[in-house]
Amino acid sequence: MWDYTDKVMDHYKNPRNVGEIENPSAIGEAGSLVCGDALKLYLKVDDNGIITDAKFQTFGCGSAVASSSVLTEMLKGMTIDEASKITNQQIADALGGLPPQKMHCSVMGHEALESAIANYKGEDAAAHCDEKIICTCYHVTESALREAVEQNNLTDLEDVMNYTKAGGACGQCHIAIQKIIDEIKNKKEKVDIKNMSTTQLVLKINNVIEKHIASELRKDGGDIELVDVKDNKVFVSLKGMCKSCKFSSNTLKNFVEASLKEHISPDIEVVEV
Amino acid sequence: MSQKIVYLDNNATTMTDPEVFEAMKPYFCDLYGNPSSMHEFGGQVAKAVEKAREQVKDFIGAKDAKEIIFTASGSEGDNMAIRGILEANKNKKHIITTKIEHPAVLNLFKYFEKQGYEVTYLSVDSKGNLDLNELSNSVTEDTAIVSLMYANNETGVILPVEKAAKIVKQKNPKTKVHVDAVQAAGKIPLDVKNTDIDLLTIAGHKIHAPKGIGALYVKTGTLLPAFVIGGHQERGKRAGTENVPYIVGLGKACEIAKNSLEYEMNEVKRLRDKLENGIIKSVYNAKVNGSTTNRVPNTTNIGFQYIEGELILLHLSDLGICASSGSACTSGSLEPSHVLKSMGVPFEALHGSIRFSLSRFTTEEEIDYVLKVLPDVIFKLNKISPYQRELKALEEAHKR
């Protein structure tokens, strides 16, 4: 039994705005019969760009029906512009939350809305067909994955499955999904070093040295020590075998500096003391 | 909850028969001795355990009560049998099962596949029936064990395990045959003694005993190492002080189940058929999944096309009706039923598949109630579906 909120139960028991709109201004679709989740969203928009009516038809579980139903309530009275700013999290919040494994239902609502808005603006739906599909089982595109990961701060594979269903079937795309998660995580962690306090920066540098640099140098009997940090300059001293190694300047530039640049900021410059 | 519950989910678990519960009661606070003790107080408890072993023996038609080992669940029985046979036959690296097994067997086979075993997963046809030729062709010199379910938990379809066991032995007499009879027990007669079946698993909670007790049949002469190492209990194969009240309960449940088989195969079947026919007649987008002839008497699996299973269950639950679904949404795994998928059930019926499983406690009034309220639930949900055109076509076809 899922732990559904009263709001979710109310919406699947008494779904609002079920059905089709005759001569709709826009139709949006998401999901498919194969996936076990499909949603059709119909919008009526007046001359001022205000949504005057919204209806839906959904093939899906309780939370899918509830997400569609609450979405139609949210949309009525909004301008298309306002509607385009709705996130899947807002749909889930309007229901008082969804179980983590059911967040993909709110994502489906959001996708149908995006599709309807594109349809309203006369954007070519076919343009989206060129997009790279990561999960072929559930037909999840790279851009949809990136959007879900970025908007909801998803940090692991299981979260991504719960939100997008991607990777939930054959599992062949797990590596590709993990790559997207890592990439977005890395990007977020890389911040402008000018906005960091020296202590913060030192901690970060030490962390990268410990995790990525020192362990490698130790394999060859060498080591490294952080001496000082001034603005973008990082002062280090090489120890052990590295000290006498004739390739030490090479190690410093191509490995130590490159690692710090990759993990912290491209502005970093390493100086040996 | 004040609402009356109509429990049609007996393949998930069953109510403990009050008579079974009565039989268990003395073994908590009065007859609590250890069956291994030397004193008479423990001795009488040992006798109760041995009586239960006899009852289980009679129920499955074993030759000797020594062939029965008490376990804690169906999953444990499956594990004890399969792991044990592989441990005793370390040189053999090929194992066979079907694509429609319960996860207790299927996931164990997947585990051994990762360990380097070669695994054959036998297919089934659209009715859920096994191809015995495929089985025959799969058995080799290197096959350690063949594990087959007796009846499928989702569709109720019965596999010809006795015939299959014979075929296996003809190809390789040393290959062991394990039968997962968890869903067959209590629904069709079991009689292992004159078969080629070496091991057979049952679970108490599917036959009106409580959860947490089961049994494994191990044919005399089958080498099976200890599953739990320790004391001498269960002939050293499963150490640990016996779960006496539950063992007594399982024995009693087996005795009653044996005496109720007539009723199951006639009256329960009649009610199941009434439910199934009633639904097919009144609901235009309903279709039976799997064979309707070769089935245990209590189960029907119905696909409601173009609507989703969890949604149906939620609405039925609001009416006090308990059933289950092979839909992806109910499992939390995102994947719909592997059983129905293996049978090639189309997606429009797969996601909306509902299993109703009756028991000897199911009444005619309950079936009448379901038949009265279910069509309206389905028609209400049909209105939400985006596949109106397809539904309309089904409705037209149903009228003709």
Residues B251 and B116 in one domain: yes
Residue contact A59–B327, C-beta within 8 A = no
CA distance B358 to B271: 8
**CATH-assigned architecture of domain A193-272:** 2-Layer Sandwich (3.30)
Decide if B222 contacts B42 (C-beta within 8 A).
no
Any idea which fold A6-188 has?
A: Sufe protein. Chain: A (3.90.1010)
- Residues of A with catalytic roles: 35, 105
Chain A CB contacts of B329 below 8 Å = 36, 60-62, 64
| Whether the complex's predicted ipTM surpasses the cut of 0.85 | yes
Q: Which of A21, A22, A33, A108 to mutate to test the interface with B (most CBs of B within 10 A)?
A: A33
Decide if B120 contacts B94 (C-beta within 8 A).
yes
Question: Which phi and psi angles does A226 have, rounded to 5°?
Answer: -85, 125
CA distance B215 to B76: 9
The pLDDT score that the predictor gives to residue A138 is 78
Domain ranges of chain A: 6-188, 193-272
Chain A CB contacts of B387 below 8 Å = 33, 59
CA distance B359 to B17: 11
Q: Find the chain A residues whose C-beta atoms sit closer than 8 A to any C-beta of B.
A: 12-13, 15, 18-20, 33-34, 36-40, 57-62, 64-65, 101, 138, 161, 165, 168-169
For B166, the 3-state DSSP assignment is: helix
* Alpha carbon B85 to chain centroid, angstroms: 22
Return the CATH number at B105.
3.40.640.10
User: Which residue range forms the structural domain that includes residue B280?
Assistant: 6-12+261-399
CA distance B16 to A41: 48
Return the CATH number at B313.
3.90.1150.10
* pLDDT tens digits for range B61-108: 999 999 999 999 999 999 999 999 999 999 999 999 999 999 999 999
Residues B363 and B311 in one domain: yes
Decide if A91 contacts A54 (C-beta within 8 A).
no
- Which residue type sits at A231? D
Q: What is the pTM of this model?
A: 0.82
Average pLDDT over residues B374-391: 96
CA dihedral B185, B189, B190, B194 (to 10 degrees): -170
Q: Which two tokens stand for residue B188?
A: 């069709």
Residues B331 and B244 in one domain: no
Segment-wise mean pLDDT, segments of 10 residues, chain A, 273 residues: 91 96 94 87 95 96 95 96 94 93 90 94 64 80 87 87 83 86 79 75 86 85 86 86 77 85 84 86
CA distance B70 to B64: 14
Q: Which chain B residue's Cα is nearest to A105?
A: B329
Residue contact A169–B335, C-beta within 8 A = yes
Burial label, B138 (beta-carbon count in 10 A; 0-12, 13-18, 19+): middle
Residue contact A13–B329, C-beta within 8 A = no
Q: Closest Cα to residue B111, out of B88, B83, B150?
A: B83
Q: Which two tokens stand for residue B193?
A: 């003694």
Indicate the angle between helix axes A62-75 and A103-120, nearest 10 degrees: 40
CA distance A87 to A152: 9
CA atoms within 13 A on the CB side of B296: 33
Q: Which two tokens stand for residue B13?
A: 């678990």
| B347 in reach of chain A (CB within 8 A) | yes
* pLDDT tens digits for range A5-56: 999 999 999 999 999 999 999 999 998 888 888 999 999 999 999 999 999 9
The pLDDT score that the predictor gives to residue A150 is 87
- Residues of B with catalytic roles: 329
Q: How far is B351 from chain A (nearest CA, A)?
A: 6
Instruction: Count CB-CB contacts under 10 A for residue B134.
Output: 14
Structural domain includes residue B85: yes
* pLDDT tens digits for range A58-79: 999 999 999 999 999 999 999 9
Q: Closest Cα to residue B135, out of B111, B159, B106?
A: B159
The residue from B257, B285, B302 where one domain ends is B257
Residue the block writes with tokens 């250890």: B34
Minimal Cβ distance to B385: which of A34, A57, A168: A57
Residues B219 and B280 in one domain: no
